[in-house]
Structure 1
Amino acid sequence: MRTPRTAATLAAGTILLPLMFGTGTAYASGLDGNLVLIGGALNENAQILQRIVADADPDGAGPARARIAVVTAASVPAASPTEASDPTQSNAAANGLYYADLFARYGADTYLVPIDIETNYAGDPYVPGNADSTTVADQVRASTGVFFSGGDQSRYVQTLLDCAPAPGDAFTDCADTAVLAAVRAVLDAGGVVAGSSAGLTIQNGSDMVTAGESYESWRYGAYAGTGIGSNDLTYSPFGGFGFFTEGLLDSHFGTWGRQARMVALADATAHDLVVGVDETTALVYDRATRRGEVIGVNGVSVLDLYGATISGDRAEGVRWHYLVNGDRIDFATLAVTAGAAERSGVGTGSGPNVKRDIWDSPSGSGGTYSMVTQAKALVKSSANVAQGTTFERNPRYRTHLDRVSATRWWTTGGFESLEVSFIPE
């Protein structure tokens, strides 16, 4: 049994720096800058883009403009000058052009950071060596915001961190390159660092997830590495850039049924909090106050493992908060402020039927948002329990969702303190 978190002890702990949650470090106020953590599939969402530009604007309504350094090194390199110059293509250079145009539409200037994991053709401006270029670092430092695009977060580790060699790229010892130090300076000066998909995940501290599906996570456990070509749960012990240290981060969260995989990783690495962001959704995190706000289309999950019982291949009593547009959370106490009127107790109508493929297996037929959909149906119904099973068998895992006395919900789709359990059959 994990020791339960209490509001009183956390409130008292916020005067200290650092405040330890398991082996993950959550820092109290004293840091500056905002993070805009996007769960992937930005889809040119106006609310999220406007927030990034507004947070990067140095003088509000004044004459100065936001200047955003765009980092695309998580993408595959361009194979030719033609591919690099075509913003409809998907490669590091082309993606930079796409985001430059996108941010320009919202009134921001951009600097395209010319860093990639390898050089693919003669004259390629996107080269690994630029990560330690004084000229490139100075351009980043002159920006008021930084945006990390999607792809593979392990490429960000390999391009923007100097890491000691490790088997399977399971890095445990890394240092900032000149460009990453410049990014850190922008944030510490009160700027904004935003990222989508891999650009969100790389902002994690230690034990950053690198790959894995929920079923394999519980069937086989977690191990350090990049997990290339496998559904196994893998992680980087050193982690990412360490901008967000309240808990483990994950993207495409409810969309791809990643709740179970991150509970497994948190337990394996002794972390007690998971923050998962859905697609076309962002968590805006103020580092000075340790408060977060949800914007966008879907939701942000906060999974609290304090007080849960996790033994072997079963987990019981994980607390799940699901926040939607306009909802807020104070990470010092985990107090949730809903953007709509909260309700306690049951709703109306019968509870949902057992959901098949509730973990949204890639080989199953459960679709997307299966566990989120099941939870939303439960809290607004007259039932106190809902269930779902995995597509895979041998063993098949059953998910239990339980309404408890602390459960609250609101009509916009959010809820707090729903209990989640994963039990093999």
Structure 2
Amino acid sequence: MLAPILASTLAIGLVAVAAPAHAAPGGPRAHGADPRAGSLVLIGGNLSEDAAILSKIVELADPDGGGPEAARIAIITAAAAPAESAAEGSDSAENNAQANGLYYAELFGRYGAETYVVPIDEAVDFDGDSYVPSNADRADVADQVRQSTGVFLGGGDQMRYVRTLLDCSGAPVDEAYRRCADTPVLGAVRDVLDADGVVAGVSAGLTIQQGADMVTGGESYQAWRDGGSPGYLDDPTALASLPFGGFGFFQEALLDSHFGTWGRQARMIRLADDTHHRRILGVDETTALAYDRSTRIGEVIGEAGASVIDVEPRDVRGQTARDVRWTRLVAGDAFDFARGTAIPGAERITAPATGAGPAEAADVWDSIDGPGNSGSLSDLATALVASSATTASGTSFETAPQFRTTLTRDRATSWWSTGGFEQLRVDIGAE
């Protein structure tokens, strides 16, 4: 097993950030706050300035229905690498925490929202650096977040969110990432959500919103061959997860981003079995699931799809999976997590279509880059349900061993003309 990289202790420093007086972080919830209130917008990655997704975030951040000018979105980009110089941090075309904050502030401003850019990343990199980890402990920064009606979490590495917005440093070494506490800023984010606000996140900003056993890395082939380990591993291909998890906003399922796009179905089936979870939610790129915490219904928006995969305890044994069930939703569809059922936006069809089934896929866990592309296994499944065939399969590119994934349409399976399907059977085994 590779050694976990333990969470860094937050630095202590002072950066002047003006903020009006407000209730102390971590205090009692505001009167009328409902822990089931609020919404999540879970974006699978590669936002691509998608108008449907951005409009939905601003709409949900509008507290009174009076229009986007009422929306105030706090932007947290601590998952991105820190800027190495003031010039890098001030250039919104660069990819670092400060630059990303400027970029998203301008982007949401175009949709009529007021923004507050939260000055937090995981290191102090140059003289005068205003983005520092110690700002997560500041009451005035937390107050600014708390006065927002929405929070947006940018992409990068979800472990940077753990190291900056959670304090896991007090736990014994053998409990690292098993016992963590909120910083004041994370407490303020919870207050925004519980006051019927919205928390949206893209890529790492999606993944960090789950509860226990948050995935931290791994590829499907290595995950299926070797299983997973707790912690954060040096090898990015090895499956790993944090026992404590992320922020815990979404408790319905294990979460994963770039899902079909990067061929992550098998890695998450393995993680679900290893960690005794029964459901997975994976969201493709340029796609989001807008989830209402009070109704427990999630609506799909964007260009590709969102997958719900159910894994019963008996379904996986070693390197073999039998009768895992996969539901894939596209724009206009929804999922009722309370009932465990899809709500198609088009007519549900149970009978096979016409035409030949898809050819065998030679690299079924591969990914396809680009907006709207769903990936090899998702494409295989979509082609199967829209044909007269009952099965389709493909193998992993890697060998020794080589794994075959077989998809089967049976009596429990339904599909609809827009590209979604429900209860497709998934089997995985070594050749």
* Alignment TM-score, normalising by the size of structure 1: 0.90
How far has the Cα of 1:170 moved from its partner? 4.8
Match of 2:320 in 1: 314
Match of 1:342 in 2: 348
> Which amino acid letter does the alignment assign opposite residue 38 of structure 2?
G
- 1:376-410 deviation digits (Å, cap 9, x = unpaired): 11001110000000000000000010001011111
How far has the Cα of 1:227 moved from its partner? 2.3
Match of 1:13 in 2: none
Taking the aligned partners of 2:184 and 2:89, their CA distance within structure 1 comes to 25
Does the 8 Å contact 1:277/1:301 carry over to 2? yes
The answer to whether residue 255 in structure 2 is matched with residue 249 in structure 1 is yes
Does the 8 Å contact 2:69/2:112 carry over to 1? no
Match of 1:4 in 2: none
> Which of 404, 408, 414 lines up with 2:410 in the alignment?
404
> Which of 165, 170, 193 lines up with 1:187 in the alignment?
193
Change (3 A) 1:118 1:307: closer
**1:89-128 counterparts in 2 under 5 A?**
89-128=94-133
**1:408-419 counterparts in 2 under 5 A?**
408-419=414-425
> Which of 357, 361, 364 lines up with 1:351 in the alignment?
357
For the residue of structure 1 that corresponds to 2:411, the secondary structure is strand
Taking the aligned partners of 1:141 and 1:248, their CA distance within structure 2 comes to 27
> Which amino acid letter does the alignment assign opposite residue 414 of structure 2?
R
> Which amino acid letter does the alignment assign opposite residue 211 of structure 1?
G
Change (3 A) 1:239 1:307: closer
How far has the Cα of 1:283 moved from its partner? 0.4
For the residue of structure 2 that corresponds to 1:244, the secondary structure is coil
**1:199-210 counterparts in 2 under 5 A?**
199-210=205-216
Change (3 A) 1:69 1:63: closer
The answer to whether residue 149 in structure 2 is matched with residue 144 in structure 1 is yes
**1:151-230 counterparts in 2 under 5 A?**
151-164=156-169, 170-230=176-236
> Which of 125, 131, 136 lines up with 1:131 in the alignment?
136
Change (3 A) 1:85 1:254: same
- 1:154-173 deviation digits (Å, cap 9, x = unpaired): 00000000103566995100
How far has the Cα of 1:58 moved from its partner? 1.7
How far has the Cα of 1:226 moved from its partner? 1.3
How far has the Cα of 1:341 moved from its partner? 1.0
Taking the aligned partners of 1:57 and 1:48, their CA distance within structure 2 comes to 15
- 1:261-285 deviation digits (Å, cap 9, x = unpaired): 0000000000000000000000011
Match of 1:6 in 2: none
Match of 2:76 in 1: 71
Does the 8 Å contact 1:211/1:228 carry over to 2? no
Question: Would you say how many aligned residue pairs link Structure 1 and Structure 2?
Answer: 393
Change (3 A) 1:247 1:368: closer
Taking the aligned partners of 1:352 and 1:237, their CA distance within structure 2 comes to 39
Change (3 A) 1:97 1:395: same
Does the 8 Å contact 1:212/1:227 carry over to 2? no
Change (3 A) 1:35 1:397: same
The answer to whether residue 240 in structure 2 is matched with residue 231 in structure 1 is no
Taking the aligned partners of 2:174 and 2:100, their CA distance within structure 1 comes to 28
> Which of 40, 61, 67 lines up with 2:66 in the alignment?
61
> Which amino acid letter does the alignment assign opposite residue 181 of structure 2?
A
How far has the Cα of 1:91 moved from its partner? 0.3
> Which amino acid letter does the alignment assign opposite residue 302 of structure 1?
V
The answer to whether residue 388 in structure 2 is matched with residue 382 in structure 1 is yes
Structure 2 residues without counterparts, runs of 5 or longer: 1-33
How far has the Cα of 1:234 moved from its partner? 0.5
For the residue of structure 1 that corresponds to 2:201, the secondary structure is strand
Match of 1:372 in 2: 378
How far has the Cα of 1:334 moved from its partner? 1.0
How far has the Cα of 1:361 moved from its partner? 6.8
For the residue of structure 2 that corresponds to 1:355, the secondary structure is coil
- 1:189-225 deviation digits (Å, cap 9, x = unpaired): 0000000000000000000000000000011110012
Does the 8 Å contact 1:115/1:126 carry over to 2? yes
Match of 1:287 in 2: 293
> Which amino acid letter does the alignment assign opposite residue 324 of structure 2?
V
Taking the aligned partners of 2:195 and 2:49, their CA distance within structure 1 comes to 27
Match of 2:41 in 1: 36
For the residue of structure 2 that corresponds to 1:326, the secondary structure is coil
Does the 8 Å contact 1:213/1:361 carry over to 2? no
Match of 2:270 in 1: 264
Does the 8 Å contact 1:140/1:179 carry over to 2? yes
Taking the aligned partners of 1:320 and 1:167, their CA distance within structure 2 comes to 38
Does the 8 Å contact 1:274/1:302 carry over to 2? yes
Does the 8 Å contact 1:305/1:319 carry over to 2? yes
Taking the aligned partners of 1:54 and 1:30, their CA distance within structure 2 comes to 20
How far has the Cα of 1:136 moved from its partner? 0.1
> Which amino acid letter does the alignment assign opposite residue 346 of structure 1?
P
Structure 1 residues without counterparts, runs of 5 or longer: 1-28
> Which amino acid letter does the alignment assign opposite residue 158 of structure 1?
R
Does the 8 Å contact 2:68/2:113 carry over to 1? no
Taking the aligned partners of 1:162 and 1:114, their CA distance within structure 2 comes to 17
Match of 1:9 in 2: none
